[in-house]
Amino acid sequence: MEEKKSNSIKVILYISVWVIIWGTFGSLIDYPLYKNKIYLEGSLYQYLTFTITAIISIISAKFFYKKFDL
């Protein structure tokens, strides 16, 4: 039972780290586009930027999950 709890906590932490990575990655791409007025805040393109970075993050997280022993 203790092993299952430990595993669940590791998985939750792993997912949390990837959410932070996704937000950081998306913001680093979004900031210069927004500041250079390539698109406006809240526009479809901003949502698209974060959606694409989320897809990249999910694919990366699945790839690395297989590499780690969680």
State the Cα–Cα distance between residues 62 and 22, nearest whole angstrom: 13
Helix ranges, 1-70 (H):
2-35, 44-67
Q: What is the pTM of this model?
A: 0.79
The residue among 19, 13, 29, 30 whose CA lies nearest residue 54 is 19
C-alpha neighbours within 13 Å on the C-beta side of residue 55: 5
Rounded to an integer, the average pLDDT of 59-66 is 92
pLDDT classification of 4: cutoffs 50, 70, 90: low
